[in-house]
Structure 1
Amino acid sequence: MVALANAGFRAIAPDFRGYGLSDQPPNPHTTTFMDLCDDLLGILDQLAISKVFLIAKDFGVRPAYLFALFHPDRILGLITLGVPYIPPGPSTFHKRLLEGFYVSRFAEPGRAEADFRRLDATTVIRNIYILFCRSEIPIAEVNQEIMDLVEPSTPLPPWLSEEDLASYGFSYEKSGFQTALQVPYR
């Protein structure tokens, strides 16, 4: 973002509702990708930005695609990383995933919450970053939880400092994980 700003662009990285330092949505259990798309429209309107280039990664891709579909007049370009385009509508890909795959576990109401509750928010974030910087996909055994896939002695990835981790942990202490689990997993 600094490089974009230095090149003369305005770079904005909003926290989605219920993430980081943003407020929780009124009903976290019914929040959808469309709500995040509407939030993006509200941010652009509030900042009086008529057209944007959207750059989205991972779960941020879905609201970016929806925004481009529903507000094509507001888009100059769209760049997405890590997730292909999936047309709007009911998702069925979860049915083809392994039971111990993290997406399956996070999609099950209550399971990830119970798993995360055993640890403080900073440790949950630490474990997630460690899991997702590995080359293998995190898959738990039948009687194992996702957070159990990381040994406490495992070092942080070299690109993540203790200071950064503490900042992310603080953000999730405020927001919790309700919305982070609802959207995109449920």
Structure 2
Amino acid sequence: MENIEHKHVDVKGLKLHVAQIGSGPKVVVFLHGFPEIWYTWRHQMLAVANNGYRAIAFDFRGYGLSDQPAEPEKATFQDLIDDIIGVLDSLGIDKAFLVGKDFGAIPAYLVSAVQPERVSGVVTLGVPFILPGPSAIKNHLLPKGFYISRWQELGRAEADFGRFDVKTVIRNIYTLFSRSEVPIASDDQEIMDLFDPSVPLPPWFSEQDLSVYASLYEKSGFRYALQVPYRTLPVDIGITDPKATAPALLIMGEKDYVLNFPGMEDYIRSGEVKKFVPDLDIIFLKEGNHFVHEQNPEQVNELIIAFLDKHSV
């Protein structure tokens, strides 16, 4: 970890925090989800760098050590597309592999759709191709205590999270979202109330890891994170008939709670997702949960590196 270099680059008037290791023309850009941050890719960055790739992970705007935009409530997924292209431009990179986890998968595919010449291939974990808009997530098919519905309510998550320190919020989310059940609160509960304090951290997530995450979210808070992805998921960003034509790999844990979203497993297993990502391979990991890249890093690293090697020119 001590060999990972850190810097800030300018993207549309914001300074974005970038971590990188390795060198050479073959570049892999890692895109985090929530409650993750650049550090979520620590295992993958070292692995791909040791296999001849330049590994880059950055904090999206509003996250971690990156700047906050002036008006987070006006943000959409277009901003994340701009972040990715802006980081590539700032670092003088013409083309890269994009590896996205959780909501980081969404802009990874969309960059491939709108600027295919910049993308060598796409790997996503935990989330398939999703186009932001009114039908992105079928909230109405789940109880009203569905965590996304709750976090989309202005002020509700702020009040829920605000009862605890940042480290406790990250601990609760990591522990809750490692399960295969979709987090749903009853009418007299908030999402943080679903956490059982007697449940330990997952064995693959150390107290030191938690401290790193907490220190970065103490810097940024959760204001932007609640807007992007959650409150902007239903917002159409004007991309019509998208096709992410680059070679792609989707890695899903069989025990990932996302598979229990209405229609999600069928969308993936039936191949319907290939309407949007035609050159897509799909791999299910039997014991994998939503954080499979941290839970089973060696297995995930092998899959990612095999994909990179196959599609590197």
* 2:93 aligned residue (30, 43, 49): 49
CA change 1:59–1:41 in 2 (3 A) is same
Is 1:27 aligned to 2:42, yes or no? Answer: no
C-alpha separation in 1, matches of 2:206 and 2:101 = 21
Q: Secondary structure at the match of 1:184?
A: helix
Structure 2 residues not aligned, in runs of 5+: 1-44, 232-313
- Displacement of 1:152 in angstroms is 2.1
Instruction: Say whether the 8 Å CA contact 1:106–1:181 is kept in structure 2.
Output: yes
1:62 is aligned, of 83, 101, 106, to 106
State the secondary structure of the residue aligned to 1:53: strand
Shift in Å at residue 88 of structure 1?
4.8
- Cα deviation for residue 110 of structure 1 reads 0.8
TM-score, structure 1 normalization: 0.95
Distance 2:110 2:134 in 1: 14
The whole-number CA distance in structure 1 between the counterparts of 2:131 and 2:60 is 21
**Identity of paired residues, percent?**
63
Q: TM-score, normalised by structure 2?
A: 0.57
Equivalences, count: 186
Asked if the contact 1:97–1:104 (Cα under 8 Å) also holds between the matched residues in 2, the reply is no
Q: Which moved more, 1:79-88 or 1:102-111?
A: 79-88
Separation (CA, whole Å) in 2 of partners of 1:19 and 1:4: 24
Give the match's secondary structure for 2:229: coil
Render the CA deviation track for 1:97-146: whole Å, top value 9, x for unaligned.
32111111111111101000000010000000000111222111111000
- Amino acid across the alignment from 1:160: F
1:3 alignment partner, SS class: helix
Say which of 110, 122, 126 aligns to 1:78: 122
Contact 1:51 1:75 in 2 (8 A): yes
In the alignment, is residue 133 of structure 1 matched against residue 148 of structure 2? no
Q: Does 1:143 align with 2:143?
A: no
Secondary structure of the structure 2 residue equivalent to 1:155: coil
Q: Residues of 2 paired with 1:172 and 1:163: CA distance?
A: 14
Distance 1:152 1:77 in 2: 41
Correspondence for 2:54: 10
Do the aligned partners of residues 88 and 115 (structure 1) sit closer, same or farther apart at CA in structure 2, a change above 3 Å counting?
A: closer
1:156 corresponds in structure 2 to 201
SS in 2 for 1:12: strand
Cα distance per residue 1:9-47 (max 9 Å; x no partner)? 011111111111111112111111110110111100010
Q: Distance in 1 between the 2:182 and 2:117 partners?
A: 38
Say if 1:100 and 1:142, in contact at 8 Å, map to a contact too.
yes
Matching residue of 1:102: 147
Other-structure match for 1:177? 222
Are 2:139 and 2:146, in contact at CA under 8 Å, matched by a contact in 1?
no
Q: Which runs of 5+ in 1 are unaligned?
A: none
Q: Which residue of 1 aligns with 2:158?
A: 113
CA contact (8 A) 2:77 2:228 kept: yes
Q: Does the CA contact (< 8 Å) of 1:34 and 1:66 recur in 2?
A: no
Q: 1:178 corresponds to which letter in structure 2? A: R
Deviates more, 1:132-141 or 1:85-94: 85-94
Between the two structures, name the one with larger relative contact order (CA 8 Å, sep ≥ 6).
1
The 2-side partners of 1:10 and 1:171 are apart by 23
1:5 to partner: Cα distance: 0.1
Residue among 212, 220, 225 paired with 1:167: 212
One-letter amino acid matched to 1:49: I
Higher helix share: 1
8 Å contact 2:80–2:107 — kept in the other structure?
A: yes
2:176, 2:183 within 8 Å by CA — same for their partners in 1? yes
Counterparts of 2:131 and 2:185, CA distance in 1? 29
